[in-house]
Amino acid sequence: MTDTAAAAPGLEVATAEGRVRGRVHGDLLSWRGIPYATPPVGALRLRAPQPMTPWTGVRGALDWGFAAPQPPYGAVIGPGRRQPIGEDCLTLNVLAPRRPSDSLRPVMVFIHGGGYLLGTSALSVYGGQKLVERGDVVYVSLNYRLGPLGYLDLTDFATPDRPIDSNLGLRDQVAALEWVQRNIEAFGGDPRNVTVFGESAGGNAVTTLFATPAAEGLFARGIAQSSDAGVAYGRERSAQWGREFVACLGADPSDAAAALDRASLREIGRAAGKFMKDSLIAAPGTLAYAPVVDDDYLPKHPVDAMADGSAHAVPLMIGTNSREGALFTRFLTDGLPLSESSIATMFSLTEPAALARVTSAYRDYPRRRAAVDLGGDALFWKPSTDCASGHSRFAPTYSYRYDFTTPSLTAIGFGATHAMELIPVFGLADTGMGRSMTPLGGRKALRALSERMQAHWLSFARGGEPLSSWPAYDEQHRKTMIFDATDRVECDPRGERRRAWEGYLGYR
């Protein structure tokens, strides 16, 4: 197949597994709900994703696939609209320009967030239309297993007759990237020019993929937005959480494998909610649904892999928002380190001697705002800064901080909080989401910021570098792009805080 032919797909596309038919959306072509692995149901529950059995005929790719099992509110995709939920959730979506191209287009693969408990690629904020229209790229989004069926280490309950695998959601993401390598050329995309990007848990997925040997060669670069990169834990902690979940399920440990097989999604969901609440209160700042450093599929903690050069040496763009923690003051208040008491508990369980050193770097601590900022930094900024520092020794690295806010966001106490950068990155300033942020003004500035951020993201996706106004990060100068109403570059922003956190490992 020539590049020209490959770059001008029709609605009907031949993949390695079978033919799929999409639909026209204005100047774009879309294919939704394409399976990238066999449905993980029945005997395949808690097993690594298996290759999809090829099909005959043409498969319609018109509707979103199932959202992974999760609390129902996590799959709400609009007013009165909820994505159907089911274990048959290993699907992805492709969006491509309708017009022909003389060459294969760059590919951007997005991994959604939601704490590895919630979320779906069908959420409108993840649509990708503006990136495709402006950047002339092929956009892929995917669903992957969540919660106890995707991110809980239950391997201690495996038996010779009932194997159980670890890191299932991570394996799903690798399987989706393998699908991209096999098939994206048929949709006009270049498999040699793939950028994987994600936000929150999706950002964690990116930093984790950098440390996953099975992902080698599957992407050319990565963008980690608000990655809680420290959220990956060793076998001992993860195995204990597995035992606690099985207890919440009401199963006898000697019969756990059979109990996990016969449990309904309702039963699993009920146990998952109770277990997560209990685990968060016991150890504020942990997320029990997380990658496990299992000495096999994920042999090393992602932060450590970036520090010692064993991570994939491809370009990385990484950053966080100025006030990550503010969003979480509206929920999860008992489980995140956002108050003096929960912060004290966090340090007592990790590194007690660091408490005084770190808190002294936050002006007005322990007042609420300072405590919330410290908690957000512990979860997102500190581990992301560690990733930038380590990776910059081995591959081009670009660091950012998102400071932009609007009068409305400031008035409600959010400011530049978690997930706010998704609006400009996806070009949504003039949508309902953008309008909801700007009833008191700021839409023009948000629109202009979106133009600049998309230009950087698309430049990086095309050639591995943002625009020239954004310098690379290194440990000597720590140059960081600050996105605001007027962008600027700062050297070692919030350096006092960074130095106070040095050496802190958090939960492992």
Give residue-wise pLDDT tens across range 141-186.
999 999 999 999 999 999 999 999 999 999 999 999 999 999 999 9
**CA of residue 323 relative to chain centroid, distance:** 18
Judge whether 345 lies within some domain: no
In DSSP notation, 189-251 reads: EEEEEEEEEEETHHHHHHHHHHT-GGGTTS-SEEEEES--TT--EEHHHHHHHHHHHHHHTT-
| 225-236 residue pLDDT tens | 999 999 999 999
246 Cβ contact list (under 8 Å, min separation 6): 154, 157, 253, 256, 259, 260
User: CA-CA distance, 448 to 407, in Å (whole number)?
Assistant: 16
Q: What is the pLDDT of residue 330?
A: 86
Task: Provide the pLDDT for residue 439.
Answer: 95
Mean pLDDT of 65-94: 93
**pLDDT mean over 197-219:** 98
pLDDT bracket for residue 32 (50, 70, 90): very high
Cis peptide before 253 (omega within 30 of 0): no
Task: Give the pLDDT confidence of 279-300 residue by residue, as tens digits.
Answer: 989 999 999 999 999 999 999 9
Give dist(CA 411, CA 437) in Å, integer: 11
CA 426 to CA 11: how far, in whole Å?
24
- Given a cut of 90, whether residue 4 has pLDDT beyond it is no
Whether residue 304 is contained in a domain is answered as yes
| Percentage of the residues of the chain whose pLDDT score is greater than 70 | 98
In a domain, 342, yes or no: no
The reported pLDDT for the residue numbered 199 is: 98
| 335, pLDDT greater than 90 | no
Which domain CATH number covers 407? 3.40.50.1820
Q: Would you say residue 389 lies in a domain?
A: yes
Q: How far apart are CA 227 and CA 425, in angstroms?
A: 16
What is the β-pairing status of strands 488-491 and 233-234?
unpaired
Give me the count of residues in the chain.
Answer: 508
CA 419 – CA 449 distance, rounded (Å): 15
Q: State the pLDDT at residue 78.
A: 81
Q: Which residues are identified as catalytic? A: 200, 324, 418
In 3-state terms, what secondary structure has residue 498?
Answer: helix
Q: How does strand 221-225 pair with strand 316-321?
A: parallel
| 8 pLDDT tier (thresholds 50, 70, 90) | low
* 355 lies in some domain: no
pLDDT confidence of residue 80: 82
Phi, psi of 30 (to 5 degrees): -130, 145
**3-class secondary structure per residue, 376-422:** HHHHHHHHHHHHHHHHCCCCCEEEEEECCCCHHHHHCCCCCECCCCH
User: Does 456 reside within a domain?
Assistant: yes
In terms of phi and psi (left: phi > 0; alpha: psi -120 to 50; beta: otherwise), the region of 167 is left
* Cα–Cα distance measured from residue 202 to residue 224, given in angstroms and rounded to the nearest whole number: 8
State which residues form the domain around 195. 3-333+376-501
Q: Is the pLDDT of residue 431 over 60?
A: yes
Mean pLDDT of the chain: 95
In a domain, 118, yes or no: yes
pLDDT at position 5 is: 41
Measured distance CA(320)–CA(418) in Å, rounded: 8
Dihedral of CA atoms 48, 122, 63, 109 in degrees, nearest 10, equals -60
Cβ neighbors of 198 (< 8 A, separation 6 or more) are 110, 111, 112, 113, 204, 205, 206, 223, 224, 225, 227
Q: Is residue 92 part of a domain?
A: yes
Please write the tens of the pLDDT for every residue from 437-477: 999 999 999 999 999 999 999 999 999 999 999 999 999 99
Q: How far apart are CA 251 and CA 307, in angstroms?
A: 41
With 0.95 as the threshold, say if the pTM is over it. yes
- Dump pLDDT digits (tens) for 481-493: 999 999 999 999 9
Rounded to an integer, the average pLDDT of 90-104 is 96
Look at the chain and report how many structural domains it folds into. Answer: 1
pLDDT of residue 77: 87
pLDDT for position 370: 98
How high is the pLDDT of residue 2?
41
| Mean pLDDT along residues 346-372 | 97
pLDDT-derived band at 6, boundaries 50, 70, 90: very low
In three-state form (DSSP H/G/I as H, E/B as E, the rest C), the secondary structure along 340-388 is HHHHHHHHHHHCCCHHHHHHCCCCCCCCHHHHHHHHHHHHHHHHHHHHH
Residue 383 tokens read as: 């581990």
